[in-house]
Every structure is written in C-alpha cells, then in structure tokens.
Amino acid sequence: MEFAKGLTPHTILILVDKPEKIVTMGALFNKMNFKVVTAVSLYDALKQIDQEMPHLIICDAIITDGTAGNLYDRMQQQPLFKDIPVLVLVASKTKEQLGPLKGRKFAGFMLGKFDGKALTAKVKEILDGHGDISPFFVAAEQCQLAGDCTLAINAKVIGRVGDQMVCQSESEVDGEAALLVQPTDKAKGPALLKMGSNVHRSGVLYNLFPMNVVRGSGKSWISMLPEINLDHMETQADGRRVMFYDPKPERFEQFKKVLAGYDIELVYAGNLQSAAAMIIREADGSLGCVYLDELPANSSGIAIKEAIAKMNEKARPPVIAGTTSLNAKSTKEIRFLKKPFGLGMLVETMDQAIKSKTNFAEGASANIEVQYQTPARLLGLDETGGIVQLKFPVVSGSKLFLQHAVLNEMLGGQAEVRIISVNRLENSNVWQAKFESLSAQGNKSRYWERLSKQIGQRLISESA
C-alpha cells in the first residue's frame, strides 16, 4: 500500500543525562517536523513511553537512574513496546558505557562527541524504515475492517448572502471538496455542495457555497433561505456573559477569576429557582450561555429542565450542565459534561455555545442543523487514530466525525477525530489524511491496547 509523503509525523523520545542536551537535540528534530518528548531519568522515560508510544527513542548509554540496557529490558517486558527502536549515544569506549549494551538488539549507536549532522542522518535512516506511517500502523484489511466510511462535520445553515449559501461550522472547507449536506430534519432533502470558501467574522467561522452549483432535492429548501448581511453581523455587547449556577459559592468565585482570563464573565445564581428566573428574564440574548452544576433528580431539577424545554428555541440560551451521572444524555435543550472535565473542555464548550447565539443585524437566520458528509476509504489504524483516503482534500485542523459502523462500535459511539495532515498521493488524483482520535489524546498505550484487543476478538470471531 502506498502512502503520501510526510503524512504521519513521527514522535521521538529523548532520554539523556543533562537537560542542555535536550535543548540542542530538540531544536534539531523540531526543524525536521518531528514531535519531541523528553525525559531525564529511566522512571520519566517509562511514563512517557506509556503515554506517547514514541516511534524512536534516543538514549544516553548511562542515565541518572540506570542504563540504556535497563531501558531495553523493561521495554521487552511489554509486547506493545518491545519493537520500538532505541538509538544509543555512547560517550566513550569504556567498560562502563559498553557493558550494558551487550546482547541487546539496539537500532544503532552514535559514538563519541555530539555531532548534530550525523545524528539527524542516523535518525532519518531509522525512521525511513517506517515510511510515512506509524510503526504501530495496522492496515484495515488486516483488521478485517471494511474500507468504506464517511467523514462528517456538524454545521448550521443560517441563510444566504446574494447567491451564496452561508453555513456556520467549526471547520474550514476546501474549495476542491464535494460535500453532501444532510439536514437533521429528514423532511428536508440532501444536497451536493461544491466550491466552498471560508469567512471569519467576530471570531466565528462561516462556510459559503455558490447556490447556482447546488445539486439534489435539497436545492428547493436552499433556494428559500433568508437573506442575511455578514458585513453587519454582530454579537450582543454582553454576549460573553454566562449564568453560573453552583450550590457552592466559593467554587463560583474560583471559576469567575479563571474564566475572566478567557473573556468570559460569570453571573451567579445561588439556587435553581433564581437560575430559572434569570434564564427567562434575560432571554433577549444578553446571556451567551448557561452553566448548571449537578442538576438534582428532585422536583427542582425537573422543573428547570421543563422550563428550559418550553422556551422558544430562538430565545433559549444554550445550556451546559456538569454531572457525575453516567446516565445523563445530552438533548437539544441541555448538553451534559461528564465530570471530571478539564478547564479546556469547559472553555471550549462555552465558546461553542456562545458562538451559536450569534445575532444578525439584518435578516432572520434559518438555523437549520446539518452535517457535511464526504465518502472516504479507511486505510488503517494506529496508536493515535489512522489514515483515510479521499477524492478531495479536507482541511488540516478540521474536527469531524468518522462514520464507520464497526469502528464506531469498537470506540463506544461516534468517532470524533481531528485531521492533522493532508497530502496528495504522488502521481494520482487522490488525497490521504492522517487523523487523530480525540479518545486517544490521553494515554495512547491504553487506547491502542483496548482497540487492539477488540480487533483481535473480532478476528477470532470472524475465523470461527
């Protein structure tokens, strides 16, 4: 199987005895577009290997709490790590330096004083053996996974500007891509969109598509979209105000200080009754969104859910609720965040909610929930995600959903992924995209071990 050049960024772990060596080597490999992780002890290195699953390890023969031999032996105890190549830096031909290296199959040695040019050449030679894929890559056919899949991006159709259809999404679209727009409302037909472009206004991304090239049954509802004016589009002056309900006032004060650094102003509601009253009172759009902490299962929790659900959809501010409940399911009225969630997740969720409340100075927006969809072929999987092949490019950095029945089942639902690189396959008209699964952004070895186990079980059941 052929892969596009430079598709998969390789990860290198540097394990040396002095921090200044890390700075020098790190600068070299960053220029080569490698991801660099570092450690200054055997203990740190083993944690980083478990976390990052590097494609190559560069290690001093002697380190603060052991030797390259100790590292090699520990890695051999883990089937997942035993084939990761290790390049050893040997300062001198002494018994102390060379002794721990005997009888072990290292990927190579660099002897003597540091030579950046020789080191980068050796590293390139070792990693070229992996080509443009991860050393952990497994082809889809080896996993008995069908290649057919779909890449989908959530979006909202908000209107038109002249003969341009205007959508709001979290991802830029490529002008060469042909996208099927599939409305959530099944009464509206799908349509094929081409020649997309992107516009940013007040921190919000809009995708524009010429209406004269739209094809499909969805052309009828697209032709009826209301006229809007992006040049006069504006958000409410106080649109980054967030009503924050938490039974613990001290926790509100902590969040208020931190979120102020993200230009988010928190307004406190001490109980659910005052929260419900504020939501209704400020339904004019002055609240960017609402955060409710741990909605109780009693009558007060049920009452606020019902009050929110009864509100007119255009007047209702987006509602986010933090919860420890495993059974809580997000609805169009309330999005649940499972605890514990990081600050980054909370800020991103609030930002998305605030953006969804954008007002237009002229014209009423349509607010039609849709998905952009494009067919793709799953080529294989690796420790961070995998590779897909398409007829058109997608934009690097896009966050989207990979729809593949078997893979989605193995990952426990929708596979939300981020595109990290896109390249054209040499001498062809096809594109390949390297994606990272958002569920692999924590501990990569646990993600890959869990997925590999499910693949193995699938292979056994298929052969039975």
Query: Residue by residue, what is the 3-state secondary structure of the chain?
Result: CCCCCCCCCCEEEEECCCHHHHHHHHHHHHHCCCEEEEECCHHHHHHHHHHHCCCEEEEECEECCEEHHHHHHHHHCCCCCCCCCEEEEECCCCHHHHHHHCCCCCCEEEECCCCHHHHHHHHHHHHHCCCCCCCCCEECCCCCCCCEEEEEEEEEEEEEECCEEEEEECCCCCCCCCEEEEECCCCCCCEEECCCEEEEECCEEEEEEEHHHCECCCHHHHCCCCECCHHHCECCCCCCEEEEECCCHHHHHHHHHHHHCCCCEEEEECCHHHHHHHHHHCCCCCCCEEEEECCCCCHHHHHHHHHHHHCCCCCCCCEEEEECCCCCCCCCCEEEEECCCCHHHHHHHHHHHHHCCCECCCCCCCCEEEEEEEEEEEEEECCCEEEEEECCCCCCCCEEEEECHHHHHHCCCCEEEEEEEEEECCCCCCEEEEEEEHHHCCCHHHHHHHHHHHHHHHHHHHHC
Is 343 a domain residue? yes
Q: Are residues 395 and 458 in the same domain?
A: yes
Average pLDDT for residues 321-340, to the nearest whole number? 82
- Please indicate whether residue 278 or residue 417 has the higher confidence score (pLDDT): 417
Stated pTM of the model: 0.69
Picking from 90, 105, 135, the residue at the C-terminal end of a domain is: 135
Residue 57 has pLDDT above 90, yes or no: yes
User: Is residue 364 situated within a structural domain?
Assistant: no
Say if residue 21 is in the same domain as residue 80.
Answer: yes
Q: What is the pLDDT, as a whole number, of residue 406?
A: 86
Same domain, residue pair 22 and 129: yes
Average pLDDT over residues 66-83: 91
Same structural domain, 275 and 287: yes
Across 10-19, 197-206, 403-412, the highest mean pLDDT is recorded for 10-19
Tell me the pLDDT tens digit for each residue of 214-225. 999 999 999 999
362 belongs to a structural domain: no
Residues 180 and 130 in one domain: no
215 strand-pairing partners: 192
- Mean of pLDDT over the chain: 84
One domain for residues 94 and 166: no
Q: Is the pLDDT of residue 246 over 50?
A: yes
Domain with 247 in it: what CATH number?
3.40.50.2300
Is 122 a member of any domain? yes
Q: What is the pLDDT of residue 314?
A: 66
422-434 pLDDT, tens digit per residue, is 988 888 888 999 9
Residues 189 and 100 in one domain: no
434/362: higher pLDDT = 434
- CATH number at 438 reads 2.40.10
Domains: count for the chain: 4
- The rounded percent of the chain whose pLDDT value lies above 90 is 26
Question: Is residue 291 included in any domain, yes or no?
Answer: yes
Boundary residue ending a domain (308, 327, 355): 355
Whether residue 351 is found in the same domain as residue 390? no
- Comparing 457 with 151, the larger pLDDT belongs to 151
Summarised one tens digit per residue, pLDDT across range 173-198 is 888 888 999 999 989 999 999 998 98
Q: Is residue 114 part of a domain?
A: yes
| Together in a domain, 166 and 257 | no
In a domain, 184, yes or no: yes
Task: Identify the domain containing residue 71 by its residue range.
Answer: 11-135
pLDDT exceeds cutoff 50 at 359: no
One domain for residues 320 and 299: yes
Same domain membership, residue 82 and residue 56: yes
d(CA 245, CA 267): 8
Residue 439 shares a structural domain with residue 417: yes
Which one of 219, 234, 249 terminates a domain? Answer: 234
Determine the pLDDT at residue 364. Answer: 54
Q: Evaluate whether residue 366 is within a structural domain.
A: no
